[in-house]
Structure 1
Amino acid sequence: MDMTTAGDAGLLDTLQHEVAVFARRAEQTRLGGVGQVRNSMDRAAYLLLNRLDKEGPMGVKALAASMGIDSSTVTRQVAPLVDTGLVKRTSHPEDGRAVVLQLSPRGHARLDEVRSSRRELMAQLTQDWAPEERETFCALLTRFNTALSARMAGQPAVAGEAPAAS
């Protein structure tokens, strides 16, 4: 069912085009940051490391569920992070047979380095924006991502809720 009016069509066409351009440019640059760190961590690695940092050690199934992706995808994406020493596999404290993933000290340091570089890039890209404009853009982008995540999960979006796969 088309929920747009004739007046909305032009604005929504512009919005979908700008989202497509943003997605292409973000993937091309990976919004990697500045300096030597630029483009040095892919999106999947960044999101996995960020999730482990924010939520702490967890198993593959829990990590996959919290990110809204399949366990086999997490397993495939975590393997190189373990190989490079950014993530450690350890035994679950309550069930020694279960494996828990956690950031290694090297992973924490690398994530901090990438975050700092990306923060500097965001500062440069928005340097001529008023603080209120940055806050509004961030709030609207979060709201957009929340709605998109909810749609992908087949759920209605809840205003003000953080996206599941960030």
Structure 2
Amino acid sequence: MSLPSPDVPDPDRQLPYQVAVFARRISAAEELDRAAYLLLDQLAAAGPANVKTLAAALGVDSSTVTRQAAPLLRERLLARVPYPADRRAVRLALTPLGAGRLAQVREQRRRLIAELTADWTPQERALFCVLLGRFNDGLLGRR
């Protein structure tokens, strides 16, 4: 059995810490919180949806979507639109203002990531993307 090199941190200790630091720093760097970004992004990708459908897609409770949507509705980033098959039912939809804000935040994220990885090789960026995707996929279905 070999001992880890003294210059290599213990990943079992460092990985949880680094993930927590990442989450805090990325949140501080943005003007749109994580929950709002994910909700707007889902609506941009899939179009108008009811709260139950959004909750399933985001892996949260319907009450969470309702709570997260409230400030976005007040800011007019989202709107309630009638459901064509049942005019009593409503869906949430991205407004032009919401689409613009989402595009702005996506561009800010793209620039930040490009800046932070500017001295990385294309292979390092690709590997990081694969590993981060694998990490995120492991979180699916967990609460």
**Length-normalised TM-score, structure 1:** 0.76
Please tell me whether residue 16 in structure 1 is matched to residue 22 in structure 2: no
Question: Where does structure 2 lack aligned partners over 5 or more consecutive residues?
Answer: 5-9
Cα separation, 2, equivalents of 1:136 and 1:102: 35
Instruction: Give the Cα separation in 1 of the matches to 2:107 and 2:16.
Output: 30
The answer to whether residue 137 in structure 2 is matched with residue 137 in structure 1 is no
Higher relative contact order structure (alpha carbons within 8 Å, sequence separation ≥ 6): 1
Q: Which has the higher strand share?
A: 2
Post-superposition, which runs of at least 4 consecutive aligned residues in structure 1 deviate over 6 A? none
Corresponding letter in the other structure for 1:16: P
Gaps of at least 5 residues in structure 1 are 1-5, 33-39, 154-166
What is the CA distance between 1:66 and its match in structure 2? 0.5
Aligned residues: 137
Q: Which residue of 1 aligns with 2:94?
A: 103
Q: Does residue 1:46 correspond to 2:26, yes or no?
A: no
**Scaled by the length of structure 2, what TM-score is found?**
0.87
Q: 1:94: Cα distance to partner?
A: 1.1
Aligned-residue Cα RMSD (Å) equals 1.8
